[in-house]
Amino acid sequence: MREISAAVLIEGGRSTVLETLLLDDPGPGEVLVRMTAAGVCHSDLHVRDGHWERPGPIVMGHEGAGIIEQVGAGIDRAAIGRQVALTWYAPCLRCRNCQLGRQWICTASPALGHAMADGTTRTTRPDGTPVLTYLSIGTMATAQVVPAAAAIPMPDGIPDGVAALIGCGVSTGVGAVLKTADVPAGATVAVIGLGGVGLSCVMGAVIAGASRIIAVDVNRDKIELAGQLGATHWVHAAADGANVVDGIRTAAGNGGPDYVFEAIGLPQTIGQAIAALPPGGTAGLVGLTKYGEMATFEPFPFVDGGRRIIGSNYGSAVAGIDFPRYAGMFLQGRLPADRLIDRTIGLEDLEDAFDRLREGRAARQVIAFDPTGS
Ligand SMILES: NC(=O)c1ccc[n+]([C@@H]2O[C@H](COP(=O)([O-])OP(=O)(O)OC[C@H]3O[C@@H](n4cnc5c(N)ncnc54)[C@H](O)[C@@H]3O)[C@@H](O)[C@H]2O)c1
Ligand SMILES: [Zn+2]
Ligand SMILES: [Zn+2]
């Protein structure tokens, strides 16, 4: 048992609060991770702002990395001291989807209950109230107990912030392009929304060998960064989005891009992604909407033109395979994920980080933890 500091959400729509919690020892099949870095993803903001209902109190954060400090029964002690990136969707390895190799849509992940596999939590308030951990990893805390299947060892030489981003934004964006859509070399690709996820789609398109990469955002700084990462064309979206569809089509040539990835989660931009497709084109939907929101498109040209829409969860990540692959690509200089980090903050700055993210002012903000773990 040890004391940790953690960003706790009591209820969506209210500010998170920095609390001192008690962290239990890891149980069977669990590991204790001292957190080194945690990214602030827009999905955390969806939860913070109450777009998706989550039970509380809950430790926030689902993009993180750290060092294994303690292991529970059944876990090899050799893991102690290893740097790990955390997956927010620890697979059960038994359900039908896991057996089909589709761990990203596991139907029995402990993450669904924001707790350990046995349904209990290792975090409690000093008065004994159990505190859930977002997607079973609750990374916005100085240390956390997680399912061992969520802790993926990193090769040597990976900066903590990069390991954290591999845990969500990078795998989500790169994987949407390379895995879910399997974009072939020479294809034309547009990406709408250039946050940590969309910029990772851009990096994925570069790795895929796309011939044109069209970056679209309302924010010029994001477009600039996308250009540095390999985007070849850009559309500075007007506030009403009126110039986006034509802008993408013109930049792509051949009537429109072969692939459009939407990485925001707004009905308006989802509509743009579909409308910009030429016959045979594919829209990859990566951004997550508020619960209950609907997007619309005109079916006739969609069907007549043999277009496709694909949903991409977690970039179709099989964390144990893909996290080390992406880390290897970083080491080779092919996946410059460190370029996404434009601000390093403390846990106490989380609400300010949410404000910046809400206004689209940040690419990826990363919480860096004090190495003493205090
Ligand atoms: N599918 C998944 O598995 C998965 C995983 C992680 C995150 N997500 C979702 O992906 C989305 C993006 O996450 P992020 O962390 O990169 O977000 P972000 O807030 O960092 O990035 C969003 C970007 O969209 C831009 N933008 C906003 N409105 C726009 C508009 N109307 N037109 C053009 N650009 C606009 C912003 O300027 C910003 O650059 C979120 O919805 C998040 O929940 C999905
Ligand atoms: Zn995320
Ligand atoms: Zn499963």
Omega within 30 of 0 (cis) for the link into 57: yes
| pLDDT for the residue numbered 56 | 86
Asked whether 265 lines ligand 1 (CB < 6 A), one says yes
Q: Which pLDDT belongs to residue 192?
A: 98
Whether 288 lines ligand 1, by a CB cut-off of 6 Å, is yes
How far is 93 from 146, CA to CA, in rounded Å? 16
How many degrees, rounded to 5, is the angle at CA 32 between CA 31 and CA 37? 120
| Tokens of residue 257, six digits | 């891009």
From residue 164, how far is each of 35, 77, 153, 327, 364 by CA, in Å? 10, 23, 12, 11, 11
Residues written for the chain: 374
**Banded model confidence at residue 371, pLDDT cuts 50, 70, 90:** confident
Contact 153, 75 (CB under 8 A): no
- Strands in 308-311's sheet, in edge-to-edge order, are 233-236, 212-217, 188-192, 259-262, 282-285, 308-311
Nearest ligand, CA of residue 43? 1
> How far is the centre of ligand 3, averaged over its atoms, from the C-alpha of 99 (Å)?
7
The reply to whether ligand 1 has any atom less than 6 angstroms from the CB of 72 is: no
Taking the centre of ligand 3 as the mean of its atom positions, its distance from the CA of residue 111, in whole angstroms, is 11
Q: What is the pTM of this model?
A: 0.98
Q: Is the CB of 40 under 6 A from ligand 1?
A: no
Compute the distance between CA of residue 328 and CA of residue 94 in angstroms, rounded to an integer.
Answer: 28
Is ligand 1 within 6 A of the CB of residue 287?
yes
**Cα separation of 261 and 310, whole Å?**
10
Model confidence band, residue 374 (pLDDT cutoffs 50, 70, 90): very low
Q: Does 373 have pLDDT greater than 90?
A: no
Confidence at residue 54, expressed as pLDDT on a 0 to 100 scale: 87
Which residue, chain included where needed, has tokens 């390379």? 178
CA distance 190 to 249: 9
How many angstroms separate the CA atoms of 258 and 254, rounded?
A: 9
Cα 158 from Cα 152, distance rounded (Å):
13
Per-residue pLDDT of 359-370, as tens digits, reads 999 999 999 998
Q: Ligand 1 in contact with 264 (CB < 6 A)?
A: yes
Starting from the CA of residue 363, give the closest ligand: 1
The better pLDDT of the pair 373, 186 is held by 186
Q: What is the pLDDT of residues 106-125, one digit of tens each?
A: 999 999 999 999 999 999 99
For ligand 1, whether the C-beta of 314 sits within 6 Å is yes
Q: What is the pLDDT of residue 372?
A: 62
33 forms beta bridges with 68, 144
Q: Is the CB of 83 under 6 A from ligand 1?
A: no
The CA 351 to ligand 2 mean position distance, Å, reads 17
Nearest ligand (C-alpha, residue 139): 2
User: Cα-Cα-Cα-Cα dihedral of 289, 14, 364, 321, to 10°?
Assistant: -60
Q: Is the pLDDT of residue 184 over 70?
A: yes
Residue 354 CA, ligand 2 centroid: distance in Å: 13
Which residues are CB-contacts of 366 (< 8 A; sequence separation ≥ 6)? 37, 38, 39, 40, 161, 164, 165, 341, 343, 344, 345
Q: Counting atoms of ligand 1 from 1, which one is nearest the CA of 219?
A: 37
Arithmetic mean of pLDDT over the chain: 97
State how far the Cα of 31 lies from the Cα of 25, in Å rounded to an integer. Answer: 8
The verdict on the CB of residue 245 being under 6 Å from ligand 1 is: no
CA dihedral 260, 266, 267, 269 (to 10 degrees): -40
Q: Of the residues 40, 42, 341, 356, which should be mutated to test ligand 1's pocket, given the most ligand atoms within 8 Å of the CB?
A: 42
Evaluate: CB of 313 within 6 angstroms of ligand 1.
yes
Gap from CA of 258 to ligand 2 centroid (Å): 26
Q: CB-hemisphere CA count at 13 Å for 73?
A: 2
Confidence of residue 347 (pLDDT cuts 50, 70, 90): very high
Pocket probe mutation, ligand 1, options 192, 264, 364, max atoms within 8 Å of Cβ: 264
From CA 191, how far away is CA 301, in angstroms rounded?
A: 22
Per-residue pLDDT tens over the stretch 17-53: 999 999 999 999 999 999 999 999 999 999 999 999 8
Distance (Å) from CA 339 to ligand 2 centroid:
17
Find out whether the beta carbon of 241 lies less than 6 Å from any atom of ligand 1: yes
